[in-house]
Amino acid sequence: MMPLTRLLDAGYAITAWFMNPNIQPLAEYLRRREAAGICAYHFGIPIIYEDATWNITNWLRSVRDRDEAPKRCKYCCESRIEAAFAKASQLGFDCVSSSLLYSIYQPHEIIRACGERLAQTSSVEFVYQDFRQDWQAGIDAAVSLGLYRQPYCGCVYSESERYQKKLKRLIEKEALS
Ligand code: SF4
Protein backbone atom coordinates (compact mmCIF):
# COMPACT_ATOMS: atom_id res chain seq x y z
CA MET A 1 0.00 0.00 0.00
CA MET A 2 2.45 2.65 1.17
CA PRO A 3 5.05 2.38 -1.63
CA LEU A 4 2.22 2.86 -4.13
CA THR A 5 0.81 5.77 -2.12
CA ARG A 6 4.17 7.52 -1.93
CA LEU A 7 5.14 6.96 -5.55
CA LEU A 8 1.74 8.02 -6.87
CA ASP A 9 1.96 11.13 -4.66
CA ALA A 10 5.34 11.83 -6.24
CA GLY A 11 3.74 11.77 -9.68
CA TYR A 12 4.89 8.41 -11.03
CA ALA A 13 2.61 6.51 -13.42
CA ILE A 14 2.86 3.01 -11.99
CA THR A 15 2.40 -0.50 -13.28
CA ALA A 16 2.50 -3.06 -10.47
CA TRP A 17 4.38 -6.30 -11.03
CA PHE A 18 3.65 -9.38 -8.93
CA MET A 19 6.56 -11.82 -9.08
CA ASN A 20 6.99 -14.28 -6.23
CA PRO A 21 8.68 -17.53 -7.25
CA ASN A 22 9.01 -19.03 -3.79
CA ILE A 23 5.87 -18.32 -1.75
CA GLN A 24 4.83 -21.42 0.16
CA PRO A 25 2.37 -22.99 0.17
CA LEU A 26 0.77 -22.22 -3.17
CA ALA A 27 -2.45 -21.26 -1.34
CA GLU A 28 -0.48 -18.46 0.34
CA TYR A 29 0.81 -17.32 -3.05
CA LEU A 30 -2.78 -17.14 -4.28
CA ARG A 31 -3.89 -15.16 -1.21
CA ARG A 32 -1.11 -12.62 -1.76
CA ARG A 33 -1.81 -12.50 -5.47
CA GLU A 34 -5.44 -11.66 -4.77
CA ALA A 35 -4.44 -8.99 -2.22
CA ALA A 36 -2.06 -7.43 -4.76
CA GLY A 37 -4.89 -7.30 -7.29
CA ILE A 38 -7.24 -5.64 -4.80
CA CYS A 39 -4.53 -3.14 -3.98
CA ALA A 40 -3.89 -2.32 -7.64
CA TYR A 41 -7.62 -1.95 -8.22
CA HIS A 42 -7.87 0.35 -5.20
CA PHE A 43 -5.22 2.66 -6.65
CA GLY A 44 -6.51 2.34 -10.21
CA ILE A 45 -3.25 1.04 -11.63
CA PRO A 46 -2.53 -1.91 -13.94
CA ILE A 47 -0.90 -5.03 -12.55
CA ILE A 48 1.11 -7.74 -14.28
CA TYR A 49 1.19 -11.20 -12.67
CA GLU A 50 4.35 -13.20 -13.37
CA ASP A 51 2.69 -16.47 -12.37
CA ALA A 52 4.87 -18.66 -14.57
CA THR A 53 7.89 -17.82 -12.40
CA TRP A 54 6.35 -19.56 -9.37
CA ASN A 55 8.34 -22.76 -9.13
CA ILE A 56 9.24 -24.02 -5.70
CA THR A 57 11.42 -26.86 -6.99
CA ASN A 58 13.58 -24.53 -9.06
CA TRP A 59 13.78 -22.02 -6.24
CA LEU A 60 14.86 -24.59 -3.66
CA ARG A 61 17.51 -25.83 -6.08
CA SER A 62 18.77 -22.29 -6.54
CA VAL A 63 19.32 -21.84 -2.77
CA ARG A 64 20.63 -25.32 -1.99
CA ASP A 65 24.16 -24.01 -1.27
CA ARG A 66 22.91 -20.94 0.62
CA ASP A 67 19.81 -22.11 2.41
CA GLU A 68 20.55 -20.30 5.67
CA ALA A 69 19.72 -16.64 6.26
CA PRO A 70 21.24 -14.14 5.59
CA LYS A 71 22.78 -15.69 2.45
CA ARG A 72 19.45 -17.09 1.32
CA CYS A 73 17.68 -13.75 1.82
CA LYS A 74 20.40 -11.85 0.00
CA TYR A 75 19.99 -14.12 -3.01
CA CYS A 76 16.19 -13.98 -2.74
CA CYS A 77 16.01 -10.18 -2.71
CA GLU A 78 18.72 -9.58 -5.28
CA SER A 79 17.21 -12.06 -7.72
CA ARG A 80 13.87 -10.23 -7.51
CA ILE A 81 15.42 -6.82 -8.12
CA GLU A 82 17.39 -8.26 -11.04
CA ALA A 83 14.20 -9.75 -12.46
CA ALA A 84 12.39 -6.43 -12.02
CA PHE A 85 15.09 -4.59 -13.96
CA ALA A 86 14.99 -7.19 -16.72
CA LYS A 87 11.20 -6.94 -16.95
CA ALA A 88 11.20 -3.13 -16.90
CA SER A 89 13.81 -3.09 -19.63
CA GLN A 90 11.87 -5.62 -21.71
CA LEU A 91 8.67 -3.59 -21.42
CA GLY A 92 10.35 -0.22 -21.95
CA PHE A 93 9.70 1.25 -18.51
CA ASP A 94 11.82 4.13 -17.26
CA CYS A 95 12.10 3.20 -13.58
CA VAL A 96 11.95 0.41 -11.08
CA SER A 97 11.17 0.47 -7.39
CA SER A 98 10.22 -2.28 -4.96
CA SER A 99 7.77 -2.98 -2.19
CA LEU A 100 10.66 -4.87 -0.57
CA LEU A 101 11.85 -1.44 0.56
CA TYR A 102 8.79 -1.23 2.81
CA SER A 103 9.62 -4.27 4.91
CA ILE A 104 11.30 -3.84 8.28
CA TYR A 105 12.31 -7.52 8.07
CA GLN A 106 14.04 -7.55 4.69
CA PRO A 107 17.75 -6.73 4.18
CA HIS A 108 17.05 -3.14 3.21
CA GLU A 109 20.60 -2.03 2.44
CA ILE A 110 21.21 -5.09 0.26
CA ILE A 111 18.07 -4.31 -1.74
CA ARG A 112 19.06 -0.68 -2.09
CA ALA A 113 22.64 -1.49 -3.11
CA CYS A 114 21.44 -4.04 -5.66
CA GLY A 115 19.04 -1.56 -7.28
CA GLU A 116 21.65 1.19 -7.39
CA ARG A 117 24.29 -1.17 -8.83
CA LEU A 118 21.97 -2.44 -11.57
CA ALA A 119 20.88 1.10 -12.47
CA GLN A 120 24.50 1.99 -13.27
CA THR A 121 24.55 -0.36 -16.26
CA SER A 122 20.91 -0.06 -17.30
CA SER A 123 18.71 2.47 -19.04
CA VAL A 124 16.23 1.81 -16.22
CA GLU A 125 16.44 4.12 -13.21
CA PHE A 126 16.15 2.81 -9.66
CA VAL A 127 13.70 4.79 -7.55
CA TYR A 128 14.83 4.43 -3.97
CA GLN A 129 12.75 5.48 -0.98
CA ASP A 130 12.84 4.21 2.56
CA PHE A 131 9.21 3.14 2.74
CA ARG A 132 9.83 1.58 6.19
CA GLN A 133 8.99 4.97 7.69
CA ASP A 134 5.40 4.19 6.72
CA TRP A 135 5.33 0.76 8.39
CA GLN A 136 2.46 1.44 10.79
CA ALA A 137 0.58 3.59 8.29
CA GLY A 138 0.78 0.65 5.87
CA ILE A 139 -0.68 -1.74 8.43
CA ASP A 140 -3.49 0.70 9.23
CA ALA A 141 -4.26 1.22 5.54
CA ALA A 142 -4.32 -2.53 4.87
CA VAL A 143 -6.63 -3.14 7.82
CA SER A 144 -9.04 -0.41 6.76
CA LEU A 145 -9.18 -1.90 3.26
CA GLY A 146 -9.69 -5.41 4.67
CA LEU A 147 -6.55 -6.52 2.84
CA TYR A 148 -4.93 -9.88 3.58
CA ARG A 149 -1.71 -9.41 5.55
CA GLN A 150 1.03 -11.99 5.26
CA PRO A 151 1.91 -13.80 8.50
CA TYR A 152 5.47 -14.69 7.39
CA CYS A 153 8.00 -13.59 4.81
CA GLY A 154 7.08 -16.14 2.18
CA CYS A 155 9.44 -19.06 1.55
CA VAL A 156 9.09 -22.45 3.19
CA TYR A 157 11.95 -21.60 5.56
CA SER A 158 10.20 -18.52 6.87
CA GLU A 159 6.92 -20.40 7.15
CA SER A 160 8.68 -23.06 9.22
CA GLU A 161 10.36 -20.45 11.46
CA ARG A 162 7.00 -18.76 12.01
CA TYR A 163 5.29 -21.91 13.26
CA GLN A 164 8.25 -23.59 14.94
CA LYS A 165 7.60 -21.63 18.11
CA LYS A 166 4.14 -23.15 18.30
CA LEU A 167 5.53 -26.66 17.86
CA LYS A 168 8.19 -26.01 20.49
CA ARG A 169 5.52 -24.92 22.97
CA LEU A 170 3.50 -28.07 22.28
CA ILE A 171 6.57 -30.27 22.82
CA GLU A 172 7.34 -28.49 26.11
CA LYS A 173 3.74 -28.82 27.23
CA GLU A 174 3.71 -32.56 26.45
CA ALA A 175 6.97 -33.02 28.35
CA LEU A 176 5.43 -31.44 31.45
CA SER A 177 2.24 -33.50 31.43
S1 SF4 B 1 12.89 -15.40 4.51
FE2 SF4 B 1 12.00 -13.98 3.01
S3 SF4 B 1 13.73 -12.88 2.10
FE4 SF4 B 1 14.52 -14.70 3.13
S5 SF4 B 1 14.60 -16.25 1.52
FE6 SF4 B 1 12.65 -16.50 2.56
S7 SF4 B 1 11.20 -15.28 1.36
FE8 SF4 B 1 13.25 -14.63 0.79
Average per-residue pLDDT for the chain:
96
Return all residues near 112 (Cβ < 8 A) that are at least 6 apart. 101, 128
The answer to whether 80 and 19 are in contact (CB under 8 A) is: yes
Shortest-distance Cα residue to atom 1 of ligand 1: 158
Return all residues near 145 (Cβ < 8 A) that are at least 6 apart. 1, 38, 39, 42
What is this structure's pTM? 0.93
Cα–Cα distances in angstroms (integers) from residue 49 to residues 15, 40, 64, in the given order: 11, 11, 26
Shortest-distance Cα residue to atom 3 of ligand 1: 73
Residue 145 is which amino acid? Answer: L
Q: What is the pLDDT of residues 5-50, one digit of tens each?
A: 999 999 999 999 999 999 999 999 999 999 999 999 999 999 999 9
